[in-house]
Amino acid sequence: MPAPKRKVSKARRDKRSANKGMKVKIEVVCATCQAPVLPHQVCKECGHYKGVKVLRTKSERMHARAKVRQVKEAPVKGDKTEATPPAEQG
């Protein structure tokens, strides 16, 4: 069984464990929506980075999907089998 070649000094050991309690400090706010964001990262609330829209947010994707679903489920004109529009779900 492999064993460490030499003892890890107190200084070396303590330097390693000094970083274990570290937490990311969020000090940057989004320029567009003022939500707290990590530096150099896209805002997940509005999908902007440096004032430019670069990402579709989760809610925008949900709205787009709902629109597609509405179009698919809408009754076709002249179709007599479905008299009432489908009920909303979710």
| Positions that interact with Zn ion (CB under 5 A) | 30, 32-33, 35, 43, 45-46
Nearer to Zn ion, 35 or 54 (CB): 35
For Zn ion, the closer of residues 53 and 65 by Cβ is: 53
Q: Please give the structure tokens belonging to residue 1.
A: 């069984």
Smaller CB distance to Zn ion: residue 8 or 35? 35
- Residue 37 Cβ vs Zn ion, minimum distance, rounded to whole Å: 7
> Residue 26: CB partners within 8 Å, gap ≥ 6?
36, 37, 38
Sign of CA dihedral 76, 81, 83, 89: negative
Nearest approach in angstroms of CB 66 to Zn ion is 22
The whole-angstrom separation of Cα 34 and Cα 73 is: 38
- Nearest-approach distance from CB 10 to Zn ion, in angstroms: 46
